[in-house]
């Protein structure tokens, strides 16, 4: 029995070590850090001027990639916190990239962002929703935390308060690491 417990503990150590690397308290306990960072797919989406872009445009920054839609209630609740996070941390080291997975088009997305009072989030858009498939999203909202080298650190499925002290500690830890 003791031998079995030791084997289970040893097998779990890599994931425990990775999780200990990040402060995951409060709502951020829902965040799943990966034991091994893997490159994020360079799926195409549209920037605020309807030009095709990929995450390569953000290489060198820590990115919080959020997949959302105008019809998604938890997304509506989450967007003000993402806007606040962009206001607090956005710049040379960090960017919130919120990509609408919405067939409604640019006008609908911009109207939605204006209605909820966002000021700093750019209206990125993917009407084909291919990017969500490339980033293996299983539902909306889904948020991926990406390091400066374009590798996924971990993700959170579902809504979260991304402007909370716990989220800021998680993001600041990654910014400081890179």
Model confidence at 144: pLDDT above 90: yes
Cα 62 from Cα 90, distance rounded (Å):
10
Any domain includes 89 = yes
Neighbouring C-beta atoms of residue 168, cutoff 10 Å: 16
64 φψ region: left (φ > 0), alpha (ψ -120 to 50), beta (else): beta
Q: Cα torsion for 52, 90, 155, 146, to the nearest 10°? A: 60
User: Is the residue at 57 inside a domain?
Assistant: yes
On whether the CB atoms of residues 128 and 154 are closer than 8 A, the answer is no
Q: Is residue 48, in this structure, part of any structural domain at all?
A: yes
Q: How many domains does the structure of the chain reveal?
A: 1
Q: Among 149, 163, 131, which Cα is nearest to 67's?
A: 131
Domain that holds residue 90: 35-177
pLDDT at position 42, please?
A: 94
In a domain, 97, yes or no: yes
Q: pTM for the full model? A: 0.88
Residues of the chain with pLDDT > 90: what percent? 86
- Mean pLDDT, rounded, of the chain: 90
Q: Which residues of 33-49 are buried (b: 16+ CB within 10 A; e: fewer)?
A: beeebeebbebebbeee
Mean pLDDT of 100-118: 96
Q: Residue 149 domain-assigned?
A: yes
The reply to whether 10 falls in a domain is no
Q: What is the pLDDT of residue 5?
A: 36
pLDDT above 70 (res 60): yes
Check if the beta carbon of residue 170 is closer than 8 Å to that of residue 26: no
Q: For residue 47, give the CATH number of its domain.
A: 3.40.30.10
User: Does 165 fall in a domain?
Assistant: yes
Q: How confident is the model at residue 21 (pLDDT cuts 50, 70, 90)?
A: confident
Mean pLDDT of 65-77: 97
């Amino acid at each position: 029995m003791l031998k079995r417990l030791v084997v289970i503990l040893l097998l779990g150590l890599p994931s425990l070590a990775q999780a200990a690397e990040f402060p995951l308290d409060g709502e951020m306990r829902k965040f799943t850090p990966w034991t091994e960072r893997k490159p994020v797919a360079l799926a195409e989406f549209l920037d605020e001027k309807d030009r095709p872009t990929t995450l390569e445009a953000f290489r060198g920054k820590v990115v919080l990639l959020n997949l959302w839609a105008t019809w998604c209630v938890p997304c509506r609740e989450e967007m003000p916190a993402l806007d606040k996070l962009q206001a607090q941390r956005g710049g040379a080291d960090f960017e919130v990239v919120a990509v609408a997975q919405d067939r409604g088009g640019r006008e609908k997305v911009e109207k939605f962002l204006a209605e909820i009072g966002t000021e700093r989030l750019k209206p990125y858009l993917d009407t084909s929703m291919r990017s969500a498939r490339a980033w293996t999203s299983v539902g909306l909202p889904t948020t991926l935390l990406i390091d400066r080298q374009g590798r996924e650190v971990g993700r959170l499925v579902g809504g979260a308060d991304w402007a909370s002290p716990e989220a800021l500690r998680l993001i600041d830890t990654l910014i400081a690491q890179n």
